[in-house]
Amino acid sequence: MHMQGRVMSLIAFASIALDPFSQAISGFLIDVSLSFLFVAAGVLMLCTGIFALTSPGVRIK
């Protein structure tokens, strides 16, 4: 529990710091195709979920 605040501040910092990059990438993908943007976002979320399911440190015992 003693690391919860530090981890949360790191997550918040990463979220705020990466926001302009994600907006730039989304803007580029919208110019390509709106449906491609949604497919790419879905694939990225699916890959993240699969990674979380296969990581031994993430699993609840």
**3-state secondary structure string across the chain:** CCCHHHHHHHHHHHHHHHHHHHHHHHHHHHHHCHHHHHHHHHHHHHHHHHHHHHCCCCCCC
Between residues 35 and 1, the one the model is more confident about: 35
pLDDT of the residue at 61: 62
Tens of pLDDT along 12-60?
999 899 999 999 999 998 999 999 999 999 999 999 999 988 888 776 6
pLDDT of the residue at 3: 80
